[in-house]
Amino acid sequence: MNPIAELMAVTKTYDDSVALNNVSLKIEHGEILVLLGPNGSGKSTMLRILALLQKPTSGELYFRNVRISDKNRDQMRMETTMVFQKTVLFNTTVYNNVAYGLKIRKIPTNEIQQRVDKALRLVKLEGFERRHAKKLSGGEQQRVALARALVLDAKLLLLDEPTANLDPKNSAIIEETMAELNRERKTTIVMATHNMFQAKSLPNRIALMESGRITEIGVPAEIFGRLSKALASFAALENTFAGNAKITEDGATLIDVGNGVSVIAAGQYQGKVSFFVSPEDIILSKNPFSSSARNMLKGRITEIQESDGLVKLRVDVGKPFTVQITRRSFDDMNLNLKADVHIAFKASSVQIV
């Protein structure tokens, strides 16, 4: 299958700064691709180049096997649309904001009405047509911006940190909308994010970026399974810690991460190490329990986040651990903020990086 878009040896510089450094990437039809990396890694620059809002300093960009040039740039720009992290809405109604792009394309009025209604239903803002866009909450404004992009029915949807700083409800709606678009319309989506939960659950592939380059690319299970040092260094990665390691009498490793917290890891390591524990590998209980797991810690729930039937809990045991459980388990245990809980995980679940 031919890719919908392709970057070939693309470099982008700003004065003496290199934002993208000789990047080549094929984006397949109908996939969700996540660009994952720290600030300044080149994610937003890549999105703007794919949106044809910026030109590469060198290299080539193809869209559906057509090389982008000054002659066809404006025409090809109609095939892609981008939602920015910082929402900018017009000082008018929700309807006028969402309909704007269709009006300048001279779409018939009755079709505009149908497409706006459909887009607002997708982002769960039906009935908001006459509301003033700038008086909505931040999350609702971001959903208006997404609807404004959806009505254009672009073949390639680009999103730059679409749920940054949003509450769980609005984040979940945006994630559900993206999944439905991809599933029902086969819309190709490229999204930049710091959200590790999204990076694990939404995409077909992840491109890991650092210093303007793609350092790794693969399906989520591959990327998170091998847990490179670059990935572990991202501040948003849950359950990544550093500490001083020493070998125990039974041949395991004890890692002191500070604040009274120590973790047992399989294998033998000495000195300063970093490690990661997947939220899915942690068992949670309201009461002390028997387990073969070497690591058992008591803490308190400080944060709760829900998405797609799963609940993520931040548990402070002296250090903050993120635990993932099902919604049913959450309800069965009658958990809430500030509840005292116990967590456990095996020494083999501690991945040294």
DSSP 214-267: EEEEE-HHHHHHH--HHHHT-TTSTTEEEEEEEE-TTS-EEEEEETTEEEEESS
- Annotation: CATH topology of 240-352: OB fold (Dihydrolipoamide Acetyltransferase, E2P) (2.40.50)
Region 71-95: mean pLDDT is: 92
User: Residue 200 half-sphere exposure, CB side, CA atoms within 13 Å?
Assistant: 17
> Cα–Cα distances in Å, from 22 out to 6, 9, 10?
13, 4, 5
Q: What are 84-121's pLDDT values in tens digits?
A: 988 889 999 999 999 999 999 999 999 999 999 999 99
CATH fourth-level superfamily of 5-232: P-loop containing nucleotide triphosphate hydrolases (3.40.50.300)
Contact yes or no for 205/33 (Cβ under 8 A) = yes
Bridging pattern class, strands 188-193 and 156-160? parallel
Which letter does DSSP use for residue 111 in this model?
H
Contact yes or no for 144/136 (Cβ under 8 A) = yes
Residue 239 has pLDDT above 70, yes or no: yes
Q: What are 138-152's pLDDT values in tens digits?
A: 899 999 999 999 999
- Consecutive H or E run containing 37: none
Q: Could you tell me where the beta strands, DSSP code E, fall in 178-225?
A: 188-193, 205-210, 213-218
Q: How far out from the chain centre does Cα 73 lie?
A: 29
Strand partners, 311: 306, 325
Domain segments of the chain as ranges: 5-232, 240-352
Per-residue model confidence (pLDDT) at position 349: 86
Contact yes or no for 313/333 (Cβ under 8 A) = no
Per-residue model confidence (pLDDT) at position 233: 62
- CA nearest to 107, candidates 78, 147, 145, 141: 78
Contact yes or no for 341/300 (Cβ under 8 A) = yes
Residue 235 has pLDDT above 50, yes or no: no
- What is the distance between the alpha carbons of residues 217 and 170, in angstroms, rounded to a whole number? 29
Region 152-171: mean pLDDT is: 87
Q: Which residues contact 197 (CB under 8 A, 6 or more apart)?
A: 305, 307, 312
Q: What are 206-230's pLDDT values in tens digits?
A: 999 989 999 999 998 788 766 666 6
- What is the distance between the alpha carbons of residues 2 and 12, in angstroms, rounded to a whole number? 25
Same CATH fold, 240-352 and 5-232? no
